[in-house]
Amino acid sequence: MFSENQLSAQKQVAPYAKFACLVGCHLTGKLKGMLICAMNQDSNGTIFILANGLVPREDEANWFYFLRHFQNAGLTNSITFFISDRD
Protein backbone atom coordinates (compact mmCIF):
# COMPACT_ATOMS: atom_id res chain seq x y z
CA MET A 1 0.00 0.00 0.00
CA PHE A 2 2.77 2.47 0.85
CA SER A 3 6.07 2.57 -1.03
CA GLU A 4 9.33 3.96 0.37
CA ASN A 5 9.62 6.61 -2.36
CA GLN A 6 6.13 7.88 -1.62
CA LEU A 7 6.77 7.95 2.11
CA SER A 8 9.97 9.97 1.89
CA ALA A 9 8.32 12.63 -0.28
CA GLN A 10 5.13 12.65 1.80
CA LYS A 11 6.96 12.94 5.12
CA GLN A 12 8.52 16.18 3.84
CA VAL A 13 5.04 17.59 3.16
CA ALA A 14 3.14 16.02 6.05
CA PRO A 15 4.54 18.22 8.88
CA TYR A 16 2.79 21.20 7.28
CA ALA A 17 -0.54 19.41 6.79
CA LYS A 18 -3.22 20.43 9.28
CA PHE A 19 -6.04 18.40 7.74
CA ALA A 20 -6.53 15.45 5.44
CA CYS A 21 -9.43 14.94 3.06
CA LEU A 22 -10.42 11.27 2.73
CA VAL A 23 -11.87 10.27 -0.64
CA GLY A 24 -12.53 7.11 -2.59
CA CYS A 25 -13.33 6.43 -6.23
CA HIS A 26 -14.48 3.30 -8.06
CA LEU A 27 -12.11 1.70 -10.54
CA THR A 28 -13.26 0.10 -13.78
CA GLY A 29 -11.36 -1.74 -16.47
CA LYS A 30 -8.48 -4.08 -15.67
CA LEU A 31 -8.30 -3.07 -12.01
CA LYS A 32 -11.52 -3.43 -10.05
CA GLY A 33 -12.22 -2.08 -6.60
CA MET A 34 -11.66 1.30 -4.99
CA LEU A 35 -8.83 3.80 -4.92
CA ILE A 36 -8.85 5.50 -1.51
CA CYS A 37 -6.72 8.57 -0.76
CA ALA A 38 -5.83 11.04 1.94
CA MET A 39 -5.17 14.43 0.34
CA ASN A 40 -4.34 17.97 1.38
CA GLN A 41 -4.13 21.41 -0.21
CA ASP A 42 -1.40 23.97 0.41
CA SER A 43 -1.78 27.74 0.61
CA ASN A 44 -1.13 28.06 -3.14
CA GLY A 45 -4.08 25.82 -3.95
CA THR A 46 -1.94 22.85 -4.96
CA ILE A 47 -3.57 19.52 -4.09
CA PHE A 48 -1.21 16.73 -3.07
CA ILE A 49 -1.77 13.13 -2.03
CA LEU A 50 -0.53 12.16 1.43
CA ALA A 51 -1.35 8.46 0.99
CA ASN A 52 -3.30 6.19 -1.34
CA GLY A 53 -4.37 2.58 -1.43
CA LEU A 54 -6.24 0.04 -3.54
CA VAL A 55 -8.97 -1.93 -1.78
CA PRO A 56 -11.57 -4.38 -3.10
CA ARG A 57 -14.52 -2.29 -1.85
CA GLU A 58 -15.23 0.81 0.22
CA ASP A 59 -16.30 -0.34 3.64
CA GLU A 60 -15.48 0.35 7.27
CA ALA A 61 -12.88 -2.44 7.54
CA ASN A 62 -10.90 -1.18 4.52
CA TRP A 63 -10.96 2.42 5.76
CA PHE A 64 -9.69 1.31 9.18
CA TYR A 65 -6.95 -0.71 7.44
CA PHE A 66 -5.96 2.32 5.34
CA LEU A 67 -6.00 4.75 8.29
CA ARG A 68 -4.04 2.35 10.50
CA HIS A 69 -1.23 2.21 7.90
CA PHE A 70 -1.51 5.97 7.40
CA GLN A 71 -0.97 6.45 11.14
CA ASN A 72 1.83 3.84 11.36
CA ALA A 73 3.70 5.66 8.57
CA GLY A 74 3.87 8.72 10.83
CA LEU A 75 1.77 10.91 8.55
CA THR A 76 -0.85 11.83 11.17
CA ASN A 77 1.45 13.57 13.65
CA SER A 78 0.55 17.12 12.60
CA ILE A 79 -2.97 16.53 11.26
CA THR A 80 -5.64 18.24 13.34
CA PHE A 81 -8.75 16.76 11.70
CA PHE A 82 -10.01 14.62 8.84
CA ILE A 83 -12.66 15.53 6.27
CA SER A 84 -14.67 12.75 4.66
CA ASP A 85 -17.48 12.56 2.10
CA ARG A 86 -18.73 9.39 3.72
CA ASP A 87 -22.07 9.32 5.59
Tally of domains within the chain: 1
Summarised one tens digit per residue, pLDDT across range 9-65 is: 455 555 556 778 888 889 888 888 988 888 888 778 888 888 888 889 888 898 888
Q: Is the pLDDT of residue 7 over 60?
A: no
Summarised one tens digit per residue, pLDDT across range 68-79 is: 888 887 777 767
Is residue 9 within 8 Å of 75, Cβ to Cβ?
no
The rounded distance, in Å, linking the Cα atoms of 42 and 50 is: 12
Domain containing 29: what range?
A: 4-10+19-84
